[in-house]
Each structure stands twice: as structure tokens, then as C-alpha cells.
Amino acid sequence: MGTGGSGQSQSQSHSSTTGSVITGPAQGSPLIACGMDQCTATADQECCANPDGAICEPINAKCIGTAMHCSSVANCVADEVCCSHAMDNRLYSDCMQKPLCTNPQLCATSSECLNGKTCVADPHGIKYCQPTPGTSGTGGG
């Protein structure tokens, strides 16, 4: 665990059924919050989050859980958010354009959550946006 990798950032790209372009964290900060630790997003490392916790691991370790390539808007370029998505029976987090994020958005603070949502942490320290109590919480993110 810990900050690792070469410090070089990488752009992740997955094709999806919607044809949306997913850029990954390479354009922003390469540091990804991984539970209580940080990973360096490189061609060789990602954060793997599952019910047992979150760890930094080599990409070729084939994460059993969510393969996180970003953890907040800090990892993305302008007009993108860090969004979770499913593809090929796996879960990922990648940077994508705000309108395309219809699944839970990952965050560092509530100020980056779309539609007035609140940034909360799960038991393993992975932060995501959820509807603020008393609001409808509709829309992406």
C-alpha cells in the first residue's frame, strides 16, 4: 500500500455501450484516494475497492471489486467528474463529462458533488456523492 508507481499519469479508456468518452485521471492529479491511503494512477497501479477494504495494487492483479482510476474531480480536467460505472461485469471509476455521469460520483468534498448532493464516506473511506436529506437528489452524480 502507500503512494507508489512512477509518478507518471495515464489516461484510462474503456469503450462502453453508450459510446461515451472516458478519459481517466491522467489530465488531473495522479494521486487517487484509496480508502485511508493514496495510490498514484499510472499505467501500472490502481485502487481496488471491495467489501474487505481498499488497497493500491498493480493493474495486472485483476481487481475483484471496483477498479478506481480516479477518486475526485481533482483527478479530472474541467467539466469532468469522477464517476463510477459498470462494464464487462466489472466496476470502475473514471473521469467523464458531467452530463454522462448517471451513476454515483466519487468526491473529496461536497462542493464537487452535482445537483446539491453531499459527499459522504463509506466504511472503508471511499467517498461518494449522495442525495442531501430533504432534497430529491435527481440527476447525475
Range(s) of the domain holding residue 52: 31-103
Residue 41 belongs to some domain of the structure? yes
How many domains are contained in the chain?
Answer: 1
pLDDT at res. 10: 34
Residue 46 belongs to some domain of the structure? yes
Residue 133 belongs to some domain of the structure? no
Residue 18 belongs to some domain of the structure? no
| Dist. CA 106–CA 70, nearest whole Å | 8
DSSP 97: E
Is residue 16 over pLDDT 70?
no
| 63-111: pLDDT as tens digits | 888 898 899 999 898 899 999 998 887 888 999 999 999 999 999 999 9
Model confidence, pTM: 0.72
Q: What's the number of CA atoms in the CB half-sphere (13 Å) around residue 112?
A: 24
pLDDT at res. 24: 45
Amino acid (1-letter code) at residue 66: T
β-sheet bridge partners, residue 29: none
pLDDT at res. 49: 87
Is residue 114 over pLDDT 70?
yes
Start-to-end CA span in the chain (Å) = 28
